[in-house]
Amino acid sequence: MVKFYEMVERLYELDVKLSKLEWVQYTTGYDFGIEEAHEEINNFLKDEKNYSLVLEYMEKASGPVEKRKGEILYNEFKSYHLTKELNDLNFEIQKKTNELSKILNTFRFKIDGKEVSGVDIDCILSREDDRELRKKAFFAKNQIDKPMVDNGFIDLINLRNEYAGMYGEKDFMEYRIKSDELSPNIFDTWEDDLKEHIIVLNEKGREYARKFIGSEELMPWDYSYIKSKISSSLNSHVDMSNYYNVLREFFLNFGFDINKFNITYDIFPRKNKSEWGYNFPIKYGEDSRILANVKNQYREYEVLLHETGHGIHSFMLNPEEIILNMGISGIIEEGIADLFEEFLYDKMFYEKFFTNSVEKEFEEIHEYDKISHLRFVGNIFFDHELYKNDLKSLDDIYNLYFKVYSKLYNDKPYNQKPPFGFRIHYTTHPIYMHNYFMGDVTCSMLKKVFYRKYGVDSISKKPKEFGNFLFEQVIKPSGLYKYEELFEKISGEKFSLKWYF
Ligand SMILES: [Zn+2]
């Protein structure tokens, strides 16, 4: 047994090392050996001696906790002990992914020949009154598509499908869903479940388009603008230099003191830094790091609340339970982060910045956010479809994009190329984006269950109790159960999209 736990610890150290290298690459663009770190992990997982320790542990495991630990580790190791071809292919996929992620992280868009950051584009999209300029900014984002495809994006998709096929699955999507411990048919009812809500979304969109831009339809380059029109306070200038104390005081309401955690923040844009927001839970209970790109606007606290939610989650876990922590579903992680993100519109958070005058607009925007967020499901379906179609060229991808969006939302294809490659997930986190939406569903469920149990209609009425509820009901058991099991355990019902509405 000692040998087994030592082995697990060594594996964890290798994961920690890789996360640190990735943090450097995402924050500075420097690669100090990511490929080698992957190789080290691969070799460790391939090692027969390590694998036999896992099998031995599984055999001796008694009781549900040990059995679950065995299952989690077995899932990590098993694909490395099938064939050599599978292992070689896996390494090739990692190499290609790393190569493409470097292109993505250091790429900068141009408008009229001038370099613009992702944050600048977001600013144009949300503030620019001239619809043509917004459109231009929106389509600037398709500039990365060709370099991605030229450098092997389609090859990467094919490699992943080849891997899944060799493994014995229909395609990479099925492979991924199963290895994430989800029911393979979990998405089958989504389109039907969402139909009536998408009708509402489209009607609401037309209503806002008429009201704010004098147009009959809302286009993708209008969404952020409409949001700012509904709630201009979201764009209010705030001094972000005090972000740490703002966040600390806010999270103290729930009984979480981030001073006691070692969370590193890197929140301002910089050359060669990834333009996204991330939490790197480097080492549970020891080291958690947050990457963001903010520019002193109130709405950007959304990402800081979300990522700090992840940071807190990683510090609330028992660091000794290395194996169980490996088994936590990404959906649960996103659900917890989303719970805190939503406080952007809650008085408990905004009162430091605004008076009560924003109450109405924040209520309206919160409602609009919830429904317009259904547009995100398009990205999820597109992500899935990439692996179900035979793609040969960039145009094939664009056609697929329009196909997905017209089927789901009744969108009409436009005559310019729809940007997709900028969304780093298609490259680095394939078949992952459903985690965000299912995280939202989970977040909604957790709130409803908490309200019911504590007889309140908002978390801010009993924040300390909520902190405790989150810890006891969600965080503590999060590694012990597969996602759908945990969902049912907390809510008493099976996972379904109905919890979102
Ligand atoms: Zn997240």
For residues 332 and 63, what is the distance between their CA atoms, to the nearest angstrom?
A: 24
Largest Cα–Cα separation, the chain: 70
- C-alpha 307 to ligand 1 mean position (Å): 6
Query: Which residue, 377, 389, 301, 369, is CA-closest to 340?
Result: 301
- Separation of 321 CA from ligand 1 center, angstroms? 22
| Span from the CA of 430 to the centroid of ligand 1 (angstroms) | 15
The tokens describing 87, both together, are: 């292992």
Spell out which residues have Cβ within 5 A of ligand 1, the ion: 334, 337
- The alpha carbon of 333 and the centre of ligand 1 are apart by a number of angstroms equal to 7
Amino acid 117 reads: S
On the 0-12 / 13-18 / 19+ scale of CB atoms within 10 A, 91 is middle
The sign one gets for the Cα dihedral 155, 156, 158, 159 is positive
C-alpha distances (whole Å) from 391 to each of 158, 293, 326 are 8, 33, 34
Q: Ligand 1 centroid to 330 CA: how many Å?
A: 9
Q: In angstroms, rounded to a whole number, what is the distance separating the alpha carbons of residues 436 and 168?
A: 28
Expressed in angstroms and rounded, the spacing between residue 358 Cα and the centre of ligand 1 is 26
Contact of 184 with 174, CB cutoff 8 Å? yes
Cα(280) to centroid(ligand 1), Å: 10
What is the distance in A from the centroid of ligand 1 to the CA of 3? 35
Separation of alpha carbons 120 and 107, rounded Å? 14
Instruction: Give the CB-side neighbour count of residue 445, counting CA atoms within 13 A.
Output: 27
Q: How far is the CA of 278 from the centre of ligand 1 (A)?
A: 7
Contacts of 350 (CB under 8 A, 6+ apart): 298, 344, 358, 362
Between CA 124 and CA 134 the distance in angstroms is 6
Give Rg (Cα) of the chain. 23
Reading phi first (left if > 0) and then psi (alpha if -120 to 50, else beta), residue 113 is in left
Cα of 310 from ligand 1 centre, angstroms: 7
Could you tell me the residue ranges of all domains in the chain? Answer: 2-179
Distance 306 CA to ligand 1 centre (A): 6
Per DSSP bridges, beta strands 278-283 and 114-116 are unpaired
d(CA 79, CA 435): 23
Mean pLDDT in runs of 10 for the chain (501 residues)? 94 97 94 93 96 96 96 94 93 94 90 91 93 96 97 98 96 95 94 96 94 92 93 93 97 97 95 90 95 93 97 95 95 94 95 91 92 94 97 98 96 94 95 94 96 96 97 95 96 95 93
Ligand 1 geometric centre to CA of 499 (Å) = 20
Calculate how far, in angstroms, residue 279's C-alpha sits from the geometric centre of ligand 1: 7
Buried b (16+ CB within 10 A) or exposed e, 335-365: bbbbbbbbbbbbeebbeeebeeebeebbeeb
Q: How many angstroms is it from 54 CA to the middle of ligand 1? A: 31
Q: What local confidence, expressed as pLDDT, does residue 118 receive?
A: 85
Question: b/e per residue, 264-276, with b = 16+ CB within 10 A?
Answer: ebbbeeeeebbbb
